[in-house]
Amino acid sequence: MKNGHALVTVALAGCITTANFVRPDRVTIPILIGAVAADIVVTSLLASQLDSFSLGGSLATGLAVTGVDLAVGCILGACSSLRL
How does pLDDT run across 7-62, given as a tens digit for each residue?
A: 555 555 688 888 888 887 788 889 889 989 988 998 888 888 877 788 898 899 88
Distance (Å) of CA 60 to CA 25, 28, 63, 64: 30, 26, 5, 6
* CB 76 within 8 Å of CB 82: no
Q: Which helix (H) or strand (E) holds 76?
A: helix 55-76
